[in-house]
Structure 1
């Protein structure tokens, strides 16, 4: 049996598909590791325009990690962090998680559209932005993100950067993507169930 060709997803430190979920609760440390790997994916888009997206995601990752590090045992899951902040009426990490998840959703929707179509990345990301993040952004922020969406590389160049074997890339991307979509849904459903993200 031939070895699986190495791809970006094969080599990443943590895949969303491997993040532990117990009783509907998501492991904080491993979620953050997977999120950091996703941020590194934007490096492959090769445009400085995406730096604003990366900075936003990294900032939100830091908010969550800073909270977790105050008590790693109590804050071992994302849900525990949000529930504790609701009691304390201190929502820094909650805001970070909500906005990070919105960014993850944008990425998931864009890549799902792209892998299941022949669209160029710029089209998939623009449509995904209009479907997800745009409604939360101010009129000042929207043009910055729209510019980033349009600055995507050509489809063929992006997939070539993910790996030499397109079929292997597609197979591993779909596994990673399914894990990402599952986690985004769990977090979004959790926020909606208790109105934790209301007004944020």
Structure 2
């Protein structure tokens, strides 16, 4: 039994589920919650003994089985602790004053569960500290819940484009700015081209009938006439030098005129090509390939938000939670998908009447159903809070926040935290510690088969992110105003 994955049942306080992944699933049922607690302690001790026997003898090396087993134990005790805390909260809120007998029953095992949970957590920390993987300075992350992503090398080669370093904290450059930068680069290259033409002309002048150098002139004169005095040689040299200077000046003026005309025509052609490249070579990103997207949302004349497009845009956003960390943010993702499902079920009952979110909520208000936990009103309330968290998180990223944990914590404080109890806040505090590094996360926002790094990708990503934040902000403001207008906001915590 100790090699099985152990799970406490969600409703039966006397039941334990024993699972061999991919093979068997069976359970045992104790006569009382106290006996189940004894089973848990005994199984935990057996797992610890089994782990000790499997310890790898090599110094500094930790077996993956040990880590996996300890994580399974920790998850088990965490589930049990959450279940018992929920029982305490339920007993405390059922009646006024609370039933003392129910509170005693609910809290009887809480202390023992906390002790076991803390001991298991300490064991996990000892294993982590002893593991070489956690101490290696060259590894970004060794937790298997977060896969290390290898950034792809850019596959496209962009021509006629000035390479620019892009700071993620700055705003994205617009096309005119890119064109002006490219024009400056081309002007410099064309100037060097004109100068090279001049140098080639000077070198070829003896073959094309142009005056020779002073040395050549003096040699020819000495061969055709009698020897001259030193003064005569000097005068001839000066005269030939002046003639060469005048001839070169004329040649430079002609080449300058030709190069000016050639340069202006090249600038016009290359500027048009640059503008086309800026449009045609736009790198696709996670936001630009979403279909549908909040950027495609068409509001009604009265600000009505179409239900189908809204739900489709929310479904397109679901993979975003996997990019944060699929395991750590699984509860957030499941809650988000659950609210989408509730709204869709409500919409399918009467699509013509519930064409917009506002109409759907007003219909529930007319039937006095808006406060039910299963209502579309409550589902949309939590959905807009989740969307606000995502919007705030993306805004932190766009501003250049380097630490994703800080960005997520700040966003959480401004959106979801006021409506969460201490238990959920603790779960979120653990989840944000599993966020990837900024550069890894940004590379995940690329499209498979296209660039996911480099200045061009970052420029397109920041531009698409800004547009997405703007579109999402419009939707959130409309929903917030609607809920405030009809007094549908609730400060209840979960």
Q: Which category of TM-score, normalised to the shorter sequence, fits these structures?
A: over 0.9
Distance in 2 (CA, whole Å) between partners of 1:146 and 1:56 is 17
- Once residues 105 and 191 of structure 1 are traced to their aligned partners in structure 2, the CA distance between those partners, rounded to angstroms, is 14
Pair 27,125 (structure 1): closer, same or farther in 2 beyond 3 Å: same
Shift of 1:150: 2.7
Q: Structure 1 residues 155 and 198, CA, compared in 2 at 3 Å: closer, same or farther?
A: same
**CA–CA distance in 2 between the matches of 1:6 and 1:147?**
33
Partner of 1:6: 284
Q: Distance in 2 between matches of 1:11 and 1:193?
A: 35
Greater share of residues in helix: 1
Confirm or deny that 1:180 pairs with 2:472.
Answer: yes
Encode CA deviations 1:132-183: one digit per residue, 9 max, x unaligned: 1111011221111222223221111111111221111111111111111110
Whether the aligned pair in 1 keeps the contact of 2:401 and 2:407 (CA below 8 Å) is no
Please, which of 20, 39, 53 is the counterpart of residue 298 of structure 2? Answer: 20
- What's the secondary structure of 2:468's corresponding residue? helix
Q: Give the secondary-structure state (helix, strand or coil) at the position aligned to 1:26.
A: coil
1:130-169 matched pairs, under 5 angstroms: 130-163=413-446, 164=452, 165-169=457-461
Moved more, 171-180 or 38-47: 38-47
Residues 47 and 151, structure 1, Cα contact 8 Å, conserved in 2? no
Q: CA deviation at 1:199?
A: 5.6
Aligned-partner SS, 2:376: helix
Aligned partner (choices 408, 411, 415) of residue 125 of structure 1: 408
CA contact (8 A) 1:123 1:150 kept: no
Structure 1 runs of 4+ aligned residues shifted over 3 Å read none
Question: Which piece of structure 1 moves more, 95-104 or 35-44?
Answer: 35-44
The answer to whether structure 1 residue 170 and structure 2 residue 462 are counterparts is yes
Match of 2:483 in 1: 191
**Corresponding residue of 2:24:** none
1:53 has 2:336 as partner? no
Mark the runs of 5 or more structure 1 residues left unpaired by the alignment. none
Give the structure 1 partner of residue 342 of structure 2: 63
Aligned to 2:240: none
Q: How many angstroms does 1:10 deviate by? A: 1.9
Tell me the secondary structure at the aligned position of residue 287 of structure 2: helix
Aligned position for 1:98: 381
Deviation, 1:59, is 0.7
Deviation of residue 6 (structure 1)?
Answer: 1.3
Higher deviation after alignment, 18-27 or 1-10: 1-10
Q: Secondary structure at the match of 2:422?
A: coil
Q: Which residue of 1 aligns with 2:110?
A: none
CA separation of 1:10/1:88 partners in 2, compared to 1, >3 Å: closer, same or farther?
Answer: same
Are the counterparts in 2 of residues 19 and 30 from structure 1 also a CA contact under 8 Å?
Answer: yes
Distance 1:14 1:94 in 2: 23
Q: Deviations over 1:18-52 (max 9, x none)?
A: 11211111011101111111121111123401101
CA deviation string 1:55-85 (max 9, x = no partner): 1111111111110110111101000111000
Once residues 418 and 445 of structure 2 are traced to their aligned partners in structure 1, the CA distance between those partners, rounded to angstroms, is 30
Write the distance in 1 (CA, Å) between the matches of 2:459 and 2:403. Answer: 18
2:396 to 94, 110, 113: 113
Which of 341, 351, 367 aligns to 1:88? It is 367
Residue 16 of structure 1 contacts residue 34 of structure 1 at CA under 8 Å; is this kept in 2?
Answer: yes
Which region of structure 1 is more displaced relative to structure 2, 144-153 or 168-177?
A: 144-153
Cα distance in 1 for residues equivalent to 2:385 and 2:337: 13
Q: Per-residue deviation at 1:116?
A: 0.8
Q: TM-score, normalised by structure 1?
A: 0.95
SS of 2:328 mapped into structure 1: helix
Task: Give CA deviations for 1:76-127 in whole Å, capped at 9, x if unaligned.
Answer: 1000111000111123100000000000001101110121123322110111
The structure with more radius of gyration = 2
